[in-house]
Amino acid sequence: MTSTNIAVKIDNVVKRYGTVTALHGVSLDIMENEFFTLLGPSGCGKTTLLRSIAGFEEVTGGAIKLKGTDITGQPPHKRPVNTVFQQYALFPHMTVTENVMFGLLRKGWNRQEAERRAQEVLELVQLQEFAKRKPTQMSGGQQQRVALARALAPRPEVLLLDEPLSALDLKLRQAVRVELKALQRETGIAFIFVTHDQEEALTMSDRIAVMSAGRVQQIGSPREIYETPVNRFVADFIGETNLLDVAVQSVTDSTASITLPGGNAFECPAAAVVDPGQGHLSVRPERITICEPGTGHLNATVTGQVYLGTDIHLQLRLVDNEQVNVRLQNAEATTVPETGTQVGLKLETGAARLLAD
């Protein structure tokens, strides 16, 4: 982030559809020049929140402010924001330039100014050589950039993106992520991006709001969200994790004393105050090391392995029959134990985290 000014302020926003509440008092601040992602599973409320910012949904309660101005009751065309949707909705009978100019002309720009601005944004998204083509003569990735250029042309104060990469294949999606982040930095405006794809969120975002059932579960940088989840939902939804049932002895100053499956005592960070009793320990597969039986924090039996090219995923069973996954880097120095082998598991210091439900 390069600015401390708030671009969009969501203040206790509630959205109901009859008896169904889609947003339960959501509050968050999105900063200027920030790539901010709303992340969560289908039905979590992320698209409803984005549409509320755009003005396509009328909120039931709360307020939405854009750079200090309350826009809660404004219609979409009065709000200085633009949206890029999953379906790009380009006019097939128009050229790329005409598609980009269309919104400008509707806003009252004269044709010469609109054409000059269209050329500027097409250069920004590196499509100036395609200016005279029709959308049907372009790839999906190129059409997506035309939609971006059209949305950026009126110089919106905030750009909203509703899963715009979902229609692209994997390699193209990965390439466009890099372009999209670079474009956000170059334009210097706030991008609010909606996705259910954790990898997209982690690779592009300055900050992420993880949502579930119409509520924000956690807001933080990608590293904060991944390394220090605040609850079981966030840990389980972001990436891959092992969630082990453990006996909690005590929690003091955010440090927990617990008993692991098999009986070994262990100390780890705690996401919240957890009463003595049963708790959940989260530890990422790449933060566990294979060692000799009896020399680690846990003992386990290898039950399977999956070769994924860059990584090898080991599947293991603990003494209480809980399942654990370990990720090993595919390197010459890596020794991969065979199925049926007894091994020890060493948890990386500080990487395991006690979570509340």
Contact 66, 7 (CB under 8 A): yes
Mean pLDDT of all residues belonging to the chain: 91
On whether both 193 and 70 belong to a single domain, the answer is yes
Q: For residue 33, what pLDDT band results from cuts at 50, 70 and 90?
A: very high
On whether both 187 and 285 belong to a single domain, the answer is no
Per-residue model confidence (pLDDT) at position 68: 92
pLDDT in tens, 84-132: 887 778 899 999 999 999 989 988 899 999 999 999 889 888 888 899 9
On whether both 245 and 320 belong to a single domain, the answer is yes
Q: For residue 254, what pLDDT band results from cuts at 50, 70 and 90?
A: confident
On whether both 68 and 188 belong to a single domain, the answer is yes
210 or 253, greater pLDDT: 210
Q: For residue 212, what pLDDT band results from cuts at 50, 70 and 90?
A: very high
On whether both 219 and 265 belong to a single domain, the answer is no
On whether both 184 and 86 belong to a single domain, the answer is yes
Query: Given the DSSP bridges, would you call strands 190-195 and 35-39 parallel, antiparallel or unpaired?
Result: parallel
Of all residues in the chain, what percent carry a pLDDT higher than 70?
A: 98
pLDDT in tens, 172-203: 778 778 888 888 898 889 999 999 999 899 99
In this prediction, residues 311-328 reach a mean pLDDT of 94
On whether both 205 and 157 belong to a single domain, the answer is yes
Global pTM reads: 0.88
In this prediction, residues 5-22 reach a mean pLDDT of 96
On whether both 216 and 253 belong to a single domain, the answer is no
Residue 272 three-state SS: coil
Distance CA 260, CA 244 (A): 8
pLDDT in tens, 234-243: 999 998 999 9
| Structural domain ending residue among the three candidates 169, 193, 227 | 227
Q: Is 223 domain-assigned?
A: yes
Q: Is 107 domain-assigned?
A: yes
Name the residue range of residue 336's domain.
240-355
Question: Shortest CA distance to 333 belongs to which of 301, 290, 295?
Answer: 290
On whether both 177 and 58 belong to a single domain, the answer is yes
Query: Given the DSSP bridges, would you call strands 277-283 and 311-318 parallel, antiparallel or unpaired?
Result: unpaired
Distance CA 204, CA 175 (A): 12
The DSSP bridge partners found for residue 316 are: 302, 324
| Structural domain ending residue among the three candidates 227, 252, 275 | 227
pLDDT in tens, 265-277: 999 999 877 778 8
| Structural domain ending residue among the three candidates 182, 198, 227 | 227
Contact 21, 14 (CB under 8 A): yes
Where residue 351 sits, what CATH number does that domain have? 2.40.50.140
On whether both 94 and 139 belong to a single domain, the answer is yes
Give the contacts of 354 (CB within 8 A, at least 6 positions apart): 246, 248, 251, 256, 258, 268, 269, 270, 271, 274, 279, 280, 281, 282
Per-residue model confidence (pLDDT) at position 1: 41
Tokens describing residue 299: 């003992």
Of all residues in the chain, what percent carry a pLDDT higher than 90?
A: 66
Weakest-pLDDT range from 5-14, 62-71, 265-274:
265-274
On whether both 107 and 216 belong to a single domain, the answer is yes
Number of domains forming the structure of the chain: 2
Where residue 145 sits, what CATH number does that domain have? 3.40.50.300
Distance CA 300, CA 83 (A): 50
In this predicted structure, the answer to whether residue 71 has a pLDDT above a threshold of 60 is yes
On whether both 114 and 196 belong to a single domain, the answer is yes
Distance CA 167, CA 14 (A): 30
User: Does the CA dihedral 162-167-171-172 come out positive or negative?
Assistant: negative
